[in-house]
Amino acid sequence: MNVYQVVRKELKRLSEPYTFLNGDVYLVITPTNIWIWLGSKSYCDDRAVGAWLSKVIEEDQKELLIKTVMEGEEPQEFRDLMQFQVKEGDTPGFLKHFEKKEDVDYRLLQIIQKAEGMIETKEIPIKYKSLKSGDSFVLDAWDEIYVWIGKKSQVREKYEAGKIARALDVERKRRPVVYTIDEQDEPKNFKEVVERIAKEDKKK
């Protein structure tokens, strides 16, 4: 059995005694399963990266099953694997630290459903204030792709935003991390991330 802490887009192997921070995400890999342990205060980016990394591992070891557990709701099967304690705290994740990795253009796409039912996708300035509750958006930061869902967004807008993100993911064989963010559950540092992406945008 191997236990890993998700640190940004990498896995840090842990040894006994195991201590989990309630603001982080951990992977526990056994011969049959990949367990994703989610701390009660973990950020959406930590959770997304944890799921992404488990998928990468699963592709190499297809016989493994992915199971997700929340802090405080661990099934007995998980508790029987090991002894661990949970402490208050977290490790900086992507939403707390943004670095431009490549000389590429970034873009913000707005997905709008017109009155006649047609879907329009247009590129708009990368600004936090560009995000509107009535639409869905795709913020393409190359290594990281954000699907932002407005609380009044239409079903077809949400679907199209997800479709665009998946297409970008397939197009870039580098496996970017795709985050889906609902407006009402938006991480507190997301505005800062958008502003930093805008600042680093090569087109500006």
Alpha-carbon distances of 52 from 27, 60, 112, 131, rounded to whole Å: 11, 13, 28, 25
Does the pLDDT of residue 195 top 60, yes or no?
yes
Mean pLDDT over each residue of the chain, to the nearest integer: 84
Please indicate, yes or no, whether the overall pTM of this predicted structure exceeds 0.95.
Answer: no
pLDDT tens per residue across span 122-154: 999 999 999 999 999 999 988 788 999 999 999
In order of start, what are the domains of the chain with their CATH numbers?
Answer: 2-93 (3.40.20.10), 107-200 (3.40.20.10)
pLDDT band at 89 (very low <50, low <70, confident <90, very high): confident
Which pair of tokens denotes residue 58? 């699963």
pLDDT band at 108 (very low <50, low <70, confident <90, very high): very high
Query: Percent of the chain having pLDDT more than 70?
Result: 82
Mean pLDDT of 72-81: 93
Strands of the chain (E only): list them. 2-7, 10-14, 18-21, 25-29, 33-38, 65-70, 84-87, 107-113, 119-124, 136-141, 144-149, 177-182
- Record the tokens describing residue 87, joined without a space: 């402490």
